[in-house]
Amino acid sequence: ELKVEQNPLFLSMQEGKNYTIYCNYSTTSDRLYWYRQDPGKSLESLFVLLSNGAVKQEGRLMASLDTKARLSTLHITAAVHDLSATYFCAVARGSQGNLIFGKGTKLSVKP
């Protein structure tokens, strides 16, 4: 059974600091996704990681994937308040886009 675990579940950061969110999954998968959710809003796709060693970057966010360790990381560089949101990782189960989500990491960036 595929399980996806994120940690930490809550993260309070100061502006300007760096931090990493971790996503572990229990069985082999060829696709890993990161989504962002703002309060009261729906999920927005951030990154799709398709192969071992894949790295994607957008602004202050960088995601990477290690399929051998079944681990993805979302690294936040020099956090700003606008990054406050809940971040979900999700792993594909099967070939048709059936995603299993982690519980989410609620990030709060304080001045």
Partner 1 sequence: DVKVTQSSRYLVKRTGEKVFLECVQDMDHENMFWYRQDPGLGLRLIYFSYDVKMKEKGDIPEGYSVSREKKERFSLILESASTNQTSMYLCASSLRHRGGSGANVLTFGAGSRLTVL
Contact predicate 87/34, CB 8 Å: yes
Smallest distance from partner 1 to CB 80, Å: 24
| Residues in 15-74 at the binding interface with partner 1, rule: CB under 8 A | 30-31, 33, 41-45, 48, 50-51
Closer to partner 1 by Cβ: residue 83 or 99 = 99
Q: How many Å apart are CA 30 and CA 40, to the nearest integer?
A: 31
Smallest distance from partner 1 to CB 52, Å: 12
Closest among 16, 20, 19, 21 to 78, alpha carbons compared:
16
Distances, alpha carbon 29 to alpha carbons 7, 44, 83, 108, in Å: 19, 21, 28, 30
Contact predicate 111/16, CB 8 Å: no
* Contacting residue, 76, 104, 107, 109, with partner 1 by CB under 8 A: 104
Judged by CB under 8 A, which stretch of 13-21, 55-63, 64-72, 100-108 contacts partner 1?
100-108
Residues near partner 1, by CB under 8 A? 9, 30-31, 33, 41-45, 48, 50-51, 88, 90, 92, 95-104
